[in-house]
Structure 1
Amino acid sequence: MTPAVAMGSPLIWLCLAGSVAAALAYLWMLGKPESMPRTVIKTAAVGCLALAALASGGPPWLAAALVLSAVGDALLAREGDRRFIAGLASFLLAHLAYAWLFGGRAHGAPEGSELAVMALILLAALVAGVVLVRHAGALRVPVAVYAAAIAAMGMTSVLPGGWTLAGAVMFMASDTLLGLEKFVLPPQSPARRLTAPGVWLLYYLGQAAIGFGIVTG
């Protein structure tokens, strides 16, 4: 089934509608205490995108990256360093899956403007990574490894470009904002009222944009 045909399938639209509904519901629940319904709703937002990717006939690596991201969402929906490290590992694998997927869609060696954008992404990832590693304490090693993986994902997203690149940049911004919230901002900082919704919106829209760019590209 080609993406063009699949996008007209009622199943695709049902999955997308469920994803958007779950994303909006979780946005409303951000200030609520941890609970199983909250975890399920958070996981369903990107989980439904994974189902949509499968039903649309998208590449297996896209579905794999979305499933790994949904698992990471479930793990990070609850507090705790062990869950954080496990969630980090799941997202690290998701970024590697995306990097493999993006690299396979290259139309030759990057040159000119593509190389310039890659350099900018690498510089931004390095700056963010250094700042976060310096504040990560005992988690500095896994944070450094994760920063390298997301840099690879961001740089390879230049190859397909378009919506995929835009989504990858939003994903990187979301992860950076999450890292600042966890490791840098003081617990009582007023900025935290904006970081939580910012992290979620950038993350969800980034995942949706990547999926759209790959399936329709």
Structure 2
Amino acid sequence: MTQLALILGVVVAHAYFPRTSAAPSWPRSAIKTAPLLLFSLSAFLGDAGPYLVAGLFLSALGDFGLSRDGDAPFLYGLAAFALAHLLYILHFLNLSGVPFYDAFVSAPIPALILVALMVSTELWLATHTGHLQWPVRIYVVIIGCMGLAALAVPFGWTVIGAALFIISDVILAINLFRMSDTHHHRIRAGYAIWAFYISGQVLILIGGLQT
């Protein structure tokens, strides 16, 4: 059942690709939300740990929020993902057994690159987010700490998954705040966001199931 839930989640995730740039609708929201619910079920059935189970479930809630239109659902989705990342931090710390800042010793170059990326958002992102500036800033710090916590874990699927998740969020930020609705790369960006995001979540799940 553990593997079946994971496979079903991947199958449903593929069904969402044609809808990545579609207008908000309840069927679109349902298809976007289902994969992470199934991944959370897989983690629960596979005894992958409460932090990972809850983090995947909150990611599903975040997907639902971001699938809707307007600032309120966006903030709801952003908050759900922020909480998911906090749970992933706890999950990764449990896997590594060391503080997240140990990444500066075990993987100094990736850690410094990640910090540089976080700082750079003040230049290319924060000034373009309007009244959402502070929620976005807080989210950037949280996901950055999640990345550092993942880098403290021995290299494997978990680390790769966290990296893909961060890449998807960078593309999402560009798509939401720097691209116009008619930008010629907007459809490709939607595909890339979903591909990196789902791949990252699947690898984080697989890493948790293997421990």
Q: 1:154 to 1:54 in 2, by over 3 A?
A: same
Task: Measure, in 1, the Cα distance between the counterparts of 2:84 and 2:196.
Answer: 16
How far does residue 199 in structure 1 lie from its aligned partner after superposition?
A: 0.5
2:184 to 184, 190, 194: 190
- Mind listing any 5+ residue stretches in structure 2 that lack a counterpart? none
Say whether 1:145 aligns with 2:138. Answer: yes
How far does residue 129 in structure 1 lie from its aligned partner after superposition?
A: 5.1
How far does residue 34 in structure 1 lie from its aligned partner after superposition?
A: 2.2
Equivalence map 1:17-32=2 (5 Å)? 17-32=7-22
- CA offsets, 1:149-208, max 9 Å, x none? 000000100122311111111111111111111111122210102110111111110011
Say whether 1:178 aligns with 2:172. Answer: yes
1:131 to 121, 124, 136: 124
Say whether 1:115 aligns with 2:108. Answer: yes
The answer for the alignment partner of 2:210 in structure 1 is: 216
Mean Cα deviation higher: 59-68 or 119-128: 119-128
SS in 2 for 1:82: helix
The answer for the alignment partner of 1:57 in structure 2 is: 47
SS in 2 for 1:188: coil
SS in 1 for 2:134: helix
Task: Measure, in 2, the Cα distance between the counterparts of 1:79 and 1:139.
Answer: 15
The code of the aligned residue for 2:55 comes to A
The answer for the alignment partner of 2:150 in structure 1 is: 157
- Percent identity between matched residues is 32
The code of the aligned residue for 1:132 comes to L
TM-score (norm 2): 0.92
- Mind listing any 5+ residue stretches in structure 1 that lack a counterpart? 1-10
**Aligned residues: CA RMSD:** 1.5
Task: Measure, in 2, the Cα distance between the counterparts of 1:173 and 1:185.
Answer: 17
